[in-house]
Every structure is written in C-alpha cells, then in structure tokens.
Amino acid sequence: MKRTVTHLADGRELLYFDESDASTRDVPDRRRLPTPPDASELRYDPLLDEWVAIATHRQSRIFLPPADECPLCPSTADRLSEIPASSYDVVVFENRFPSFSHRVSPGVENPGVGRCEVVCFTDEHGTAFAQLTPQRVRTVMEAWADRTSELSALPGVEQVFCFENRGEQIGVTLHHPHGQIYAYPFVTPRTKTMLAAAKRNPRVFEEEIANAGDRIVGENEDWIAFVPFASRWPYEVRLFPRRRVPDLPALSDAERDSFGPLYLDVLRRLDGLFDQPMPYISAWHQAPVRQDRELAYLHLQLFSIQRAPGKLKYLAGSESAMGAFINDVRPEEAARLLRGVSL
C-alpha cells in the first residue's frame, strides 16, 4: 500500500491510500475556498458529567446534494470536488465542517480542540461498503489504523473514534460510501461506562464473547460476530477479535486480513434480511489515548434502527430522555434470522 500526503486549497490535509505503489498523486486542488472554521466551543453539563460541543458553523454543511454534485466523487475537468484526483482507492481528508479542530479562536474559553476527518472507501458513488472487496476493506483498515495512530499523537486528543453512518434514516447527508473519524478532546460517555464495567470485572469482555452461544452470527480464526445478550437495537452485532487488543493499530497483519471477509458477510446478511439496503451505524470502540488502556478491548458495534420492513425503531421518550432502551426484537431471534439469510 502507498500512502501519499497532500493538502487542499484551504490548507486542510488530504491523504491517499493506494493499493498500487505505482500511483502518483500530484494533482493540485484548483478551487478557491474560504478559510476553514475555528474549533467549536465545549460546554460542560455538570448534571450528567458530560461535554457538549457547540459547532454552529456545521449548520451550513452540504445536505443531500444530487449525485452529479457529490463532493466525495473524484474531480473532473468540468467539476472540482474535495478529491483533486480523477480516481482513487481510499482517501482521508480533514472535514470541511468539523466538530473538533486544531484551529482555535482566541475568544473561545473552552475550544473543541481535536480533529474530524472523512474517509472515502471507494471512488464509485453508487456502491456501498458491503460491495467492497476484501482487499479494499484491508486498505480501509490500514487507513483507520494509520489515522488512529496519527490523531492519537495530536495535543489535546483523548480518544479516536472511527465510524460509518449509512442511510438517510440514520441521518446521512452524503450518499457516497464514506465514514468519519473523530479525534475527541475528552473520553466519551459510552467509553467511560464500558471502562468502568471492565474495572469492576476485568473479564467482562471475554465473558460476553464466551457466552455468545446461539447468538453467534459468524466467526473465523481471528474474529467472532454475535448479537449482544442485552441488545438495545432491533438488529445489532458486535465483532470482537479473539485476541484482546486496545485499538486498531495493535491488530496483527493476519487479524487485519481476516476482518474483511467476516464483516462483509455480516453486512450482506443485514442487507438481505428485508431484501433492501439496511440503514446502520458501524462504530469502532477503541481504548482512550492516555487512560485505562489496559481495561479496553477493541471491537466493532454494528446496529440498525430498522426493526421490520417499513418500520423504524424511533428513540422516543424512554430511550432519548431516560437512556432506558426497550428492544422490539429478541436477540436470539435476530441472530437466527441473520444466520438464515441466503447470500
């Protein structure tokens, strides 16, 4: 794999991850762009012990453009996009409308220092992650690991989060196959909760895996995919490496190779469940940068709000106001249905 670092017209960083060492990436960004926005403002909620980012500049971000105006497609002679090259394998670049940034305004008391990046999985607009090849998934994993290492080294960053949102039902505003990476200036609430559980019981992750039983959806030598015993979402799968590691950079070459085939299998089962593209969130849970790393266990959480054909799981009063989830689908039944999908 070849890694090339360049910059966009407004100074934002862009990286090409090419599967061929022969690729050349010397095409400049010919657009005229405004200066990137300053970092958001962080505000602390003492009632919940949580931080909230106030990022008003994100109100003007691009929203559901037509395919011929997609900013994530390669540039052409007639239309310039966020990627200057005419084709690419995997691209990562700084988000034009970031929630967190190193560009700090002197007037902000608690700036949201950090970084937000976009990861384009392919230059083909009308496809999806589930349609990638295992080789391309391997390239994406290299990009995730690379960015986790680089962003973890930035001043003020406490946690790196790689994720993908798919489907307008989830809130996607760009249809091109892509994900995002957030480098937070704090440890997120969900991670703090899991680390607290691991502090109470250092074997909690291993026990979750060992008890998967009839909720296993798929597995191979290095990974296991299963529906959680207390799944919050109608269809939720967790993918764990069999070896306990804190983050993506810690995965071996063999583990990186074997992730793609199993993950693609699970994604295709989700799409086949109701014979339609399944809206989902795919979220990597990694160790914080500086604290409690020995308690963490890298894993991927994949879940959908689709509970039946034409029916969504809305987060209403109990879930949104109280954080108390009520699931409509029994986890064992969800696993059975996913295993039964014909691929």
Contact 126, 67 (CB under 8 A): yes
Closest CA to 225 of 283, 328, 301: 301
Check if 178 is active-site: yes
Q: Establish whether 57 is an annotated binding residue.
A: no
Q: Is 70 annotated as a binding residue?
A: yes
- Report the distance separating Cα 17 and Cα 183, nearest Å: 20
- In the DSSP assignment, the letter for residue 205 is H
Answer whether 256's CB lies under 8 Å from 243's CB. Answer: no
Say if residue 125 carries a ligand binding annotation: yes
Q: Cβ(128)–Cβ(60) under 8 Å? A: no
Instruction: Report the alpha-carbon distance of residue 155 to residue 247 in Å, rounded.
Output: 19
Distance of CA 79 to the CA centre of its chain: 28
Those residues with Cβ within 8 angstroms of residue 310's Cβ, 6 or more apart along the chain or in another chain: none
Contact 74, 123 (CB under 8 A): yes
Q: What is the DSSP string of 278-305?
A: PPEEEEEE---SSSSGGG---EEEEEES
Find the helix or strand (DSSP H, E) in which 30 lies: none
The active-site residue, picked from 7, 57, 175, 178, is 178
Give the residue ranges of DSSP H helices in 122-203: 134-152, 189-200
Q: Give the neighbor-by-neighbor strand order of the sheet with 90-94.
A: 2-7, 13-18, 90-94, 115-120, 178-184, 159-166, 280-285, 299-304, 235-241, 223-226, 216-219
Q: Does 73 belong to an annotated binding site?
A: yes
Binding site residues for Zn(2+), as ranges? 70, 73, 125, 176
Active site residues: 178
Binding site residues, as ranges? 70, 73, 125, 176
